[in-house]
Chains A and B, each alone.
Chain A
Amino acid sequence: MSPHRIFITGIGVAAPTAIGTDPFWRACLDGIAAVAPIPAHWFNYHPPSSTLWAPLPDFDYRQYNVNRIERMQIDTATVLGLCACKQALDDAGLITEQKDEKKNTFAVEGIDPARCGVFFGTGMAGIAGFALNQAFHCFSPIKERLGDGSSADSLLRMPARFNPFAVSQIMPNATAASIGIKYSITGPNTTFANACAAGTVAVGNGFRAIRAGRCSMAITGGTEYLGDEFGGVFRGFDIAKTLVRDCVEPEKANRPFDAKRSGFLFAEGGAAVLILESQEHAERRGVKPAAEITAFAESFDAHSLMALDPEAGPIKTMVRSALDEAGLTPDRIDYVNAHATGTQLNDEVEARLIDEIFGKKPAVNATKSLVGHTIGASGAIEAAVTSLSIRDQAVHACKNLETPVRDLNFVTASGPQEIRAALKNSFGFGGHNASLVFTRP
């Protein structure tokens, strides 16, 4: 029996450039990027080298089946995941019906919940909620000694209380679990913590579960929220010298694959969800897929917790293995959605390996040049972009790419592009690498 074909039938995105798949994709094609100064009060704690980030727009969480009571109990990372999930279910034409008003849970009509899985990635899960609760925990006795109205209040920035839901707010599996509970999905429910590759690994594992016949449908994706009250997470990336350092011209600071790149643009957060279905499941529902996934491969650098292996041996092996699984030769890849963070080493290594394996034929772009780096959500957001590129046969440009690091077919202007097959790569801190191959159904 031939393996199941796996279709992407629904996409949801919450990103610094826009909330909602359509406005997000329009913003990509229009070259709209998110960049702004970091919150001024972060300077009260530490003067960072990087001074820019990609903040999220305000949005009304209540539009995405999250009520005020839940909002107080869950981390923003989970709110973003639920936001992308609701969009993706709607996009897939899946109707949800309220199951329990008090718990605010829903059932998805027309699916077998035991044959549906949730596969979700995150880098740092509820770290912002952790920081806030820890602030309350550590600063309460200090505030008591200082008394009300102390000049230190503006530094303490204490929440009103230690959140009684702190544990379930912080735990890495909170988003996957919340999606499963919210939509009464009872198949496998797993969280992947592979840093910047987490979203890609999650989508890949959903793909594998359907291909193996364990699931008929999978809710896959990734989420991240790193805008903690004190800027401590930002400081962690800043002190590691990974963030954009040339911040004089904010609009031009984020420039993956450019000779003048100086690091990645830290994103406040983001999330994306891709609904995957077996061909039979999608056809039974009469839904038209955006794209098909035909391969998933992983490798590990075994080199450094913080730096890519410059030789990229395991990445090359992984990409070739993904192409083998997809039954494609390198010349059949029309588009590469690169990891492309904007750090010196990453972009140089990735550009070289694209050149070595694919040459100058495929169109190459960097979604992070628009969105910034959403860490555990980035692979899922970029998988969404790759799917939308195949659906619409169009690619977005690399923002701020003036002097390419290598002579490749970088996309310098958004527009039509024939894409029969595409590759999405992600490389995460720790040394986790993941590739997905997408094709036109």
Chain B
Amino acid sequence: MTTGTIEQRVISVVTEVLRVDPAKIMPSSRIKEELGADSLDQVSLIMSLEDEFKGSITDDEAAGLVTVGDAVNFIEKKAELQTA
């Protein structure tokens, strides 16, 4: 598992799956439109996030993850719920 903040780890997974320059990944970056993820990339990204954070993301939840920031917020909220 990657160490660092949730945001750093999400960016690391996005970089690993999409092979884009991490310097160009912002919280506002739209995964499909700006980072160029096709439908298979999007599925791979969700699987990789599940693997990285050892949790499951439903299809409905995945559909709501439009930007990198959405993914970060979603995972942070899930983590809060788990520790609450």
Contact = CB atoms under 8 A, between A and B. Distances in A.
A102 B44 CA distance: 12
B18 A164 contact: no
Given A161-B47, A164-B43, A164-B47, A69 B16 contact: yes
Contacts of B51: 68, 72
Contacts of A101: 19
Secondary structure type dominating chain B contacts: helix
Nearest to A165: B43
Interface in A66-118: 67-69, 72-73, 101-102
Nearest to B56: A160
Q: Which of B43, B47, B50, B56 has the most CB of A within 10 A?
A: B47
A68 B50 CA distance: 13
A164 B18 CA distance: 17
A67 to B, nearest CB: 8
A163 B50 CA distance: 12
B19 A72 contact: no
B18 A73 contact: no
Nearest to A104: B19
B6 interface: no
A174 to B, nearest CB: 15
Contacts of A164: 43, 47
A72 B47 contact: yes
Contact of A72 (B18, B48, B55, B56): B48
A117 B17 CA distance: 29
Contact of B48 (A68, A102, A161, A165): A68
Interface string B71-83: 0000000000000
Contacts of A161: 47, 50, 56
Contacts of B43: 164-165
Interface in A150-183: 160-161, 163-165
A68 B56 contact: no
Interface string B10-50: 00000011110000000000000000000000011001101
A68 B48 CA distance: 8
Interface of A: 67-69, 72-73, 101-102, 160-161, 163-165
**Which 7 A-B pairs rank lowest in CB-CB distance, beginning with the nearest?**
A102-B19, A164-B43, A160-B56, A101-B19, A72-B47, A69-B44, A161-B56
Given A101-B19, A164-B47, 16 more contacts: A67-B16, A68-B16, A68-B48, A68-B51, A69-B17, A69-B48, A72-B44, A72-B48, A72-B51, A73-B44, A102-B18, A102-B19, A160-B50, A161-B47, A163-B47, A165-B43
11 contacts: A67-B16, A68-B16, A69-B48, A72-B44, A72-B51, A73-B44, A101-B19, A161-B56, A163-B47, A164-B43, A164-B47
